[in-house]
Amino acid sequence: MERNQLRRQVRLMRQSLFDQGFLDEQFVQLEELQDDANPNFVEEVATLYYRDSSRSLQILEQALQRNPRDFNKLDNYMQQFKGSSSSIGAKKVKADCQQFREYCNAGNAEGWQGKLGQSRHHVDPSNQESHQQPESSLD
Amino acid sequence: MHLSNGMGSMSTASSSGTWKSGDVVSDQFPAGLRVLVVDDDPTCLMILERMLRTCLYEVTKCNRAESALSLLRENKNGYDIVISDVHMPDMDGFKLLEQVGLEMDLPVIMMSADDGKSVVMKGVTHGACDYLIKPVRIEALKNIWQHVVRKKKNERKDVEQSGSVEEGDRQQKPSEDADYSSSANEGSWKNSKRRKDEEEETDERDDSSTLKKPRVVWSVELHQQFVGAVNQLGIDKAVPKKILELMNVPGLTRENVASHLQKYRLYLRRLSGVSQHQNNLSNPFMSPQEASFGAMSSLNGLDLQTLAVTGQLPAQSLATLQAAGLGRSTGKSGIPMPLVDQRNLFSFENPKQQHMSSSKPMNLLHGVPTTMEAKQLANLHQSAQTLGAANMQVNAHGVQNSSLLMPVPQSQPRGQILNESSGNHVPRHSSSVGQPIISNGMGNGVLGRNGIVDSGRGVGYNPVHQNSSMLNYPLNNSSQLPGNNFTLGSTPVMSSLASKGAFPEDVTSDIKRSSGFMPSYDMFNELQQPKSNEWDLQNVGLTFDVSQHTHSIHGSLDPSVLVHQGFSSSQRGGQSRNPSIVGKTMFSVGEGSHFGNMQNTGHHLNGRIVDNTVRIKAETVPDATSQTSFFHEQYGQDDLMSALLKQQDGLGPAETEFDFDGYSLDNIPV
């Protein structure tokens, strides 16, 4: 009973993530990669991503603080971040990254700041972790 | 991670020697393909690994480029394909790509979240066999094995071709061969290929389980040995087996030599600026030529010309060679490119885009003509023979020589061509040297018309544009030229040359090499015979100032451009074609009494004499300075001679002197 409920919850949550645009097709691909031989693949990848992305965001923030701002470097960092975000299917984050890069190109630092904050929110673990855990707990 | 559990067993099973190089592919293929993934992003790395394992490939992860390189080096045959990210902190992905290509010659796939056109283009130019955009989907990875197969296939084909192609080569025009690597060749080599396949398969495989045979790194020394062996045998006769024997390097297989020879040939072709294949083979050959040229002053001119014409060796090299040969500095032409450079150029590793080298050759010619004239002429005669030899050398080097040799004076139709040339400078060869040589108008096809009037520009006489068209042009009119028939057709030229006695073999060989560069040779010979002396001088005069027309002598003579430019450029480019200016290229540049121009060009010709024959039609070559070598095709040798002589006087009123419409290289300032 509870199990079913939980499952349903997870399903809904997952769906909402997709609906809200946090996740995209790529995530589905990752899910497909998971199988019996690799049951926790998605979880592992997500964990890795969170760790990695928080580090990236930190670096980005630091780089933004620095004056004068090295937009090239920022661009590179952002490129990296975008890559991993897109690989995991984090759609919004990826979009943010794209925006960042545009700001970068335009030399718009303020825009950066704003976006950075937004990205943090998008990547927010609570969003996705909660999604992951229920699933794994249901195994 | 447990991921590997399932795959582990599979991978081991599949990796056991399933992948056989060549056609033989194990049933399990592409399973077991050994992939090396390099990416600093751990998330991506993990995802990729998982995906690749799902495709049943054997995966090795690496998060740093340096460690990837060392892994590859330690285990030369351990991987079949490399997938690398573009943006990495320790080393640029493209740099890694280049390294892998050079050292291990493995197919490399680039990937990035960046899908900008410039980045993707960069991947292409650096030699990546594919570019994936992140997020990478598993479907994209499923097909990466095709790159491995393709590479192996091409390799094998190369080997076969170089080996079995030797004979075939002779018969076919270099142009055709030029594209060894292109699939076009496949058809022709099918039979041999098949034969070779069998042999190769057994030979190649050092260990049956590896995909490729151990890679041979062609170090500088090894390459030098190789070149030496090839030179010894003569480029046409250089068969892998013999080369291997001459080199006497333990551990080197015939296949290694064969594929290297293949590349070398392409390189030469490029250098010679044969329009057919313009690979920028640098003119490494030039350097050696210099030495030999010294002796053959006249030859130099010719050689250079030929080379210049043929290809890469655009004027510059020619000029240089000429200068070298003639012993006179290409002062005029200022053959900038020392032959030596060319040498460097030739390294397969080097970006084949060495047009530059070709430009150098231009200079050679360039310089040569001027001074050479007097000497040249005399020398030419003798050198003709030497030239022949020189040519050989040159040839050995590769196409370059041929281009040089064919001093086909690209006298561009002054009026018309010059304009073009000057303007265009043989844009083609951006390789700085404006190697007009190639552009010597011989411009494939273009030559015919205007006259390849090599306005003395460095158009490396190579009327032999790679396209036989070159030959056509002047030859058409060559009625005047007794001997010269500037038959562009390389073959014909050769014969004429042969008859001349001038480097017959060389010429031919050059011509062959230069694929079409014949004409110049022919001219030269013709010239030689009758008035070699004069001609030479004339030619010399024709050596258009290479410097001036450097641009024109671009190594990569654009056929059309070449024609115009060719000559001007060649002249400029240091077409220093020796007096051997086969320049009989008589280009009916124009009618006109451009002699005045001729004279100018003559100056420039610096020894571009080769173009003497080219009658510069009275085109009023506006660009007097450069061209000088309006070789009027029709110009008979006699005319040329007189014209030349006249020119020598000081570029006298060419017009008056020459009856012909074009100017003979009178302008050649001797």
Per residue, the 3-state secondary structure of A45-77, as one string, reads HHHHHHHHHHHHHHHHHHHHHCCCCCHHHHHHH
Q: Using the beta-carbon criterion (under 8 Å), do B43 and A45 form an inter-chain contact?
A: yes
Are residue B233 and residue B152 in the same domain, yes or no?
no
The CATH number of the domain where B229 resides is what? 1.10.10.60
Q: CA–CA separation, B470 vs B441, rounded Å? A: 8
Are residue B224 and residue B151 in the same domain, yes or no?
no
Q: Using the beta-carbon criterion (under 8 Å), do B113 and A79 form an inter-chain contact?
A: yes
Q: Using the beta-carbon criterion (under 8 Å), do A87 and B44 form an inter-chain contact?
A: yes
The CATH number of the domain where A76 resides is what? 1.20.120.160
> Which chain B positions have a beta carbon within 8 Å of A94's beta carbon?
113
Residue B436's pLDDT band (cuts 50, 70, 90) = very low
Q: Is A37 an 8 Å CB contact of chain B? A: yes
Contact B129, B107 (CB under 8 A): yes
Q: Which residues pair with B605 in a beta bridge?
A: B544
Question: B104: buried, middle or exposed (CB in 10 Å: 19+, 13-18, 0-12)?
Answer: buried
Considering only CA atoms, which of B242, B286, B255, B275 is closest in space to residue B173? B275
- A81: nearest CA in chain B? B41
Q: Using the beta-carbon criterion (under 8 Å), do A38 and B1 form an inter-chain contact?
A: yes
Residue B13 CB coordination number (10 Å):
13
Q: Is A89 an 8 Å CB contact of chain B? A: yes
Enter the ipTM: 0.81
Task: Give yes or no for residue B72 having a pLDDT over 60.
Answer: yes
Q: Using the beta-carbon criterion (under 8 Å), do B2 and A82 form an inter-chain contact?
A: no
Residue B67 domain-assigned? yes
The pLDDT assigned to B134 comes to: 85
Report residue B473 as tokens. Answer: 């042009």
**Per residue in A110-131, pLDDT tens?**
655 566 666 666 665 444 444 4
Residue B210 domain-assigned? no
Question: Which amino acid does the sequence have at B15?
Answer: S
Q: Is A98 an 8 Å CB contact of chain B? A: no
Q: CA–CA separation, A138 vs A35, rounded Å? A: 15
Q: Which residues pair with B306 in a beta bridge?
A: B404
> Which chain A positions have a beta carbon within 8 Å of B41's beta carbon?
52, 80, 83-84, 87
Q: CA–CA separation, B637 vs B581, rounded Å? A: 11
**Per residue in B629-670, pLDDT tens?**
444 444 444 554 555 555 445 444 444 444 444 444 444 555
Task: Give yes or no for residue B487 having a pLDDT over 50.
Answer: no
**Per residue in B354-410, pLDDT tens?**
444 443 444 444 434 444 444 444 444 444 444 444 444 434 343 333 333 344 444
Q: Cα angle vertex B233, ends B405, B252, to 5°?
A: 125
**Angstroms from B134 CA to nearest CA on chain A:** 6
Q: Which of B43, B50, B134 sits opposite A52 (nearest CB)?
A: B43
**Per residue in B365-379, pLDDT tens?**
443 444 444 444 444
More confident residue, A79 or B632: A79
Between chain A and chain B, how many beta carbons pairs sit less than 8 Å apart? 78
Pairing of strands B457-458, B108-112: unpaired
Residue B100 domain-assigned? yes
Total domain count for chain B? 2
Q: Using the beta-carbon criterion (under 8 Å), do A79 and B6 form an inter-chain contact?
A: no
Residue B576 domain-assigned? no
Q: Return the residue matching tokens 């020619």.
A: B318
The pLDDT assigned to B59 comes to: 92
Phi, psi of B214 (to 5 degrees): -60, 140
Contact B433, B488 (CB under 8 A): no
Are residue B154 and residue B230 in the same domain, yes or no?
no
Task: Give yes or no for residue B37 having a pLDDT over 90.
Answer: yes
Q: Over range B248-263, report the average pLDDT.
A: 84
Cis ω before A125 (30° cut-off from 0): no
The percentage of chain B sitting over the pLDDT mark of 90, rounded to a whole number, equals 3
Q: CA–CA separation, B508 vs B510, rounded Å? A: 5
Whether the pTM exceeds 0.80: the reply is no
Q: Which of B5, B51, B87 sits opposite A80 (nearest CB)?
A: B87
Residue ending a domain, among B108, B138, B159, is B159
Question: B382: buried, middle or exposed (CB in 10 Å: 19+, 13-18, 0-12)?
Answer: middle
Q: Is A45 an 8 Å CB contact of chain B? A: yes
Residue ending a domain, among B256, B272, B288, is B272
C-alpha neighbours within 13 Å on the C-beta side of residue B321? 60
Total domain count for chain A? 1
Residue B515 domain-assigned? no
Domain with A53, as residue range(s), is: 2-30+37-138
The pLDDT assigned to A61 comes to: 81
Q: How many residues does chain B have?
A: 670
> Which chain B positions have a beta carbon within 8 Å of A79's beta carbon?
87, 112-114
**Per residue in B609-620, pLDDT tens?**
433 443 434 343
Residue B127 domain-assigned? yes
DSSP type of residue B660: S
Q: CA–CA separation, B150 vs B154, rounded Å? A: 6
Task: Give yes or no for residue B559 having a pLDDT over 80.
Answer: no
Q: Over range B73-79, report the average pLDDT.
A: 86
Q: Over range B61-78, report the average pLDDT.
A: 88
Are residue B132 and residue B231 in the same domain, yes or no?
no
Are residue B152 and residue B236 in the same domain, yes or no?
no
Q: Is A9 an 8 Å CB contact of chain B? A: no
Task: Give chain A's radius of gyration (CA, Å).
Answer: 17
The whole-chain average pLDDT of chain B stands at: 54
Q: Using the beta-carbon criterion (under 8 Å), do B114 and A44 form an inter-chain contact?
A: no
Task: Give yes or no for residue B276 having a pLDDT over 80.
Answer: no
Q: Is A105 an 8 Å CB contact of chain B? A: no
Residue ending a domain, among B132, B159, B186, is B159
**Per residue in A2-53, pLDDT tens?**
888 888 888 888 888 888 777 788 888 888 888 777 788 888 888 888 888 8
Residue B63 CB coordination number (10 Å):
18
The pLDDT assigned to A114 comes to: 61
The pLDDT assigned to B121 comes to: 92
**Per residue in B322-344, pLDDT tens?**
444 444 444 443 344 444 444 44
Q: Using the beta-carbon criterion (under 8 Å), do A83 and B134 form an inter-chain contact?
A: yes
Q: How far is CA B551 from CA A89, B322, B339, B562, in A?
A: 53, 18, 17, 11
Domain with B97, as residue range(s), is: 34-159
**Angstroms from A110 CA to nearest CA on chain B:** 23
- B54: nearest CA in chain A? A33
Least confident segment among A75-79, B253-257, B617-621? B617-621
Kind plus residue range of the DSSP H or E element containing B159: helix B145-171
Residue B239 domain-assigned? yes
Q: Is B140 an 8 Å CB contact of chain A? A: no
